[in-house]
């Protein structure tokens, strides 16, 4: 007993089986064609990716070579700059050591500064007291100046008086010479010698 789904045991195929076989072969060919086109698309994409990767790698290699050429052409300049920087840093290190010594000396010198500040504050107090004394001295000097002004006025008055007396004495001298003329004439007339 055979069913419709089972193939007959005989060597001949029924038209329905024949059609199914033909359809299976057509589907198989279509599947193989789709698989081939899919493989082709994958191969094209892989090839494109590989080409892009190779081109990118070539660009990176060219850039790397250009960078290497640039660095090698500037290498002597960079070495000179590095030597200069090394010299400058060495000089800076020496200067820093000297500065450290100077600062240590300054610390030593600054240790005596607090007593000096105390002395200066004490001197400030003394100077403040001297300020009061100087003001008293200034008042006394002002009084002396006023007294000297009075003395100067008195001396000027005395000088004027002496000038007047000088004129008077000269007048007396003139009058004495004038009054003594007759006696001189008398002496000339009667000599006692």
Q: What is the pLDDT along the chain (193 residues), one digit of tens a residue?
A: 444 555 555 557 788 988 999 999 999 999 999 998 999 999 999 999 999 999 999 999 999 999 888 888 887 888 888 889 989 988 888 888 898 888 888 888 777 777 777 888 888 888 888 888 888 888 988 898 888 888 888 888 888 888 888 888 888 888 887 887 777 777 777 655 5
d(CA 179, CA 185): 11
The Cα 142–Cα 152 span in angstroms is 15
Q: What is the pTM of this model?
A: 0.30
Helix (H) or strand (E) holding 112: none
Q: Enumerate the domain spans of the chain.
A: 15-73, 135-188
DSSP per residue, 119-139: HHHHHHHHHHHHHHHHHHHHH
User: Cα(192)–Cα(68) distance, rounded to whole angstroms?
Assistant: 145
Q: Locate tokens 């892989």: which residue?
A: 46
């Amino acid at each position: 007993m055979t069913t419709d789904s089972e193939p007959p045991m005989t060597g001949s195929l029924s038209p329905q089986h024949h059609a199914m076989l033909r359809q299976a072969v057509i589907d198989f060919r279509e599947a193989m064609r789709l698989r081939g086109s899919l493989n082709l698309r994958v191969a094209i994409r892989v090839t494109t990716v590989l080409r892009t990767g190779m081109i990118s790698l070539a660009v990176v290699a060219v850039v790397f070579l250009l960078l290497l050429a640039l660095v090698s052409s500037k290498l002597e300049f960079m070495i000179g700059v590095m030597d200069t920087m090394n010299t400058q840093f060495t000089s800076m290190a020496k200067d820093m050591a000297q500065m450290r010594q100077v600062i240590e000396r300054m610390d030593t010198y600054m240790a005596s500064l607090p007593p000096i500040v105390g002395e200066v504050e004490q001197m400030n107090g003394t100077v403040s007291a001297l300020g009061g004394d100087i003001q008293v001295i200034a008042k006394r000097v002002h009084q002396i100046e006023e007294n000297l002004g009075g003395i100067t006025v008195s001396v000027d008055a005395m000088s004027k008086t002496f000038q007047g007396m000088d004129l008077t004495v000269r007048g007396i001298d003139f009058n004495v010479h004038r009054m003594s003329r007759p006696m001189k004439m008398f002496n000339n007339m009667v000599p006692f010698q």
